[in-house]
Structure 1
């Protein structure tokens, strides 16, 4: 069994002796779901997934996420699905944080271990199972693909973050790097799911304000994160949602590196009518 450097929730239930006060926050500009609230009482289940439970971190909702959903899936031994995706318009990304999984993608079998990453276009034939003797956990991010006439749909692929060289941000001397699974200039893709890494002392030295909606799951370490007008302490296992244009900055205080899985919507013309649905090719 492969060891994992990433945080994966184990559920459980808080004792009656624990304090109610926590770091959970839900505002118009951002939300913080700390690891301490990802417990048994907030699990969900899905059709055609056997021996599997999940935590829903984000979903399209008025005043919350607009473009994507994100789950932490926990698959027990013998669990999985032969019909995992029921929405023909949904593309997906899988990122494994614990255990081992067997992904069958367009008839080809892949073994996914921690760090394993798969991009799955809409209407793709795939299955996922846990054939091992231990629980496996992965993130499943889903988005309705925005087709553009003349731009082909991206192909499915499987990789592992260990096989990708991180790209340093200019002027940071490697203190801030991004593991990019998709070329930024590839217009076939309308979402990026990357891994951002800060060495201790690394920082986002200004309040970023841009159009992309963000979902951030902290894989390792801790930091102080600027969300709108607030500085919030976050650590491995926490999830943050940031609305488009929400100011954000970060300071990684150490002692270890700070890493998070980052979702953002990209590469599409801004819709001019609130709630307008993208045009879809036949």
Structure 2
């Protein structure tokens, strides 16, 4: 088992001596939500969840996220839900960053710990309980599944980062790579939740401009990210939303590696209005 470092320090309130300025920004092409704003007063309670609060860091709305919603969820010991998802169309991707919990799915209990990933198909009943003695924190991505006629629904996935070696990009000297929890050639899935790793000094060396929408949560390290026409410094705990076709690039200056959780919509035709 490899030691992992996933940022999970949330809540509290800044002191009265704190400066008001920050790198928080909301534009038509991207948004940056720094870790400093994820305080107690912006957390939400959820129906049918006990001992739980959530930071909703993206949601479908005009001029913002179009394909997904992303939460950071904190569940206290004994907390959880027997009715976690109110929308039968919603599929779920979960990544645990602190603590331990379990998901009951299809008659089986699946133990999850920091570094665990779960995918739950739309319309599937599931339950989540923290039966431990410490809080558990995880990212929960919700997306309305796009069914395709003649294509069977994707199966559930329960796995851990340790079971998936990094797939390094060619000709990068193993400095820029992606940990993939779902086979990228399996078109039954209409979204991916991956981990991108850049070693110190590595770059995304061109301005990516593409149809996939992104949610990026920095798990570890720091870097300078190019978002549209701006360079933005980001660090562990910061969140970025990138609209489809928003130009993007990255330079990971170090001193440690830079890693982020990456959502993207994939494997479907574009919607025609």
TM range (shorter): over 0.9
The answer on 1:165 being equivalent to 2:165 is yes
- Deviating 4+ runs (over 6 angstroms): none
| Counterpart-to-counterpart distance in 2, 1:66 and 1:75 | 27
Q: Does 1:34 align with 2:2?
A: no
Matches for 1:97-246 after TM superposition, within 5 Å:
97-246=97-246
How far, CA to CA, are the matches of 1:4 and 1:80 in structure 2?
Answer: 25
TM-score by length of 2: 0.98
Aligned equivalents of 1:219, 1:77: Cα separation in 2: 23
CA–CA distance in structure 1, aligned partners of residues 123 and 145 of structure 2: 11
State the Cα RMSD in Å: 1.1
1:19-78 C-alpha deviation (Å, 9 max, x unpaired): 000110000110000000000010001111000000001000100000000000000111
CA deviations over 1:241-261 (Å, ceiling 9, x no partner): 000000000000111100000
Deviations 1:208-237 (A, max 9, x none): 000000000000000000000000000000
Q: How far apart, CA to CA, are the structure 2 residues paired with 1:241 and 1:10?
A: 19
Deviations 1:88-113 (A, max 9, x none): 00001010000000111111111101
State the alpha-carbon separation in 1 of the partners of residues 102 and 188 from structure 2: 27
Change (3 A) 1:45 1:3: farther
> Which residue of structure 1 lines up, in the alignment, with residue 271 of structure 2?
271
Maintained 8 Å contact 1:4/1:98: no
Unaligned runs of 5+ in 2: none
Give the distance between the partners of 2:257 and 2:107, measured in 1 at CA.
Answer: 38
Shift of 1:10: 2.5
Q: How many residues align?
A: 272
Q: Distance in 2 between matches of 1:227 and 1:93?
A: 25
Q: Is residue 91 of structure 1 aligned with residue 91 of structure 2?
A: yes
Output the CA distance in 2 between the equivalents of 1:83 and 1:272.
33
Q: Distance in 2 between matches of 1:223 and 1:56?
A: 24
| Structure 1: 5+ residue stretches without partners | 274-282
TM-score scaled by structure 1? 0.95
Q: Which residue of 1 aligns with 2:250?
A: 250
Report the alpha carbon displacement of residue 183 of structure 1 after superposing the two structures with TM: 1.4
CA distance in 2: counterparts of 1:134 and 1:105, whole angstroms: 23
Contact 1:217 1:262 in 2 (8 A): yes
1:16 matched to which residue of 2?
A: 16
Cα drift, residue 4 of structure 1: 5.5
Q: Which moved more, 1:65-74 or 1:168-177?
A: 168-177
1:201 Cα deviation after fit: 0.5
How far apart, CA to CA, are the structure 2 residues paired with 1:246 and 1:4? 30
Structure 1 4/145 Cα, relative in aligned 2: closer, same or farther at 3 Å? Answer: same
Instruction: Provide the residue aligned with 2:57 in structure 1.
Output: 57
Distance 1:169 1:3, change over 3 A: closer
Matching residue of 1:277: none
1:3 Cα deviation from its structure 2 partner:
7.8
- 8 Å CA contact 1:30–1:243 kept in 2: the answer is yes
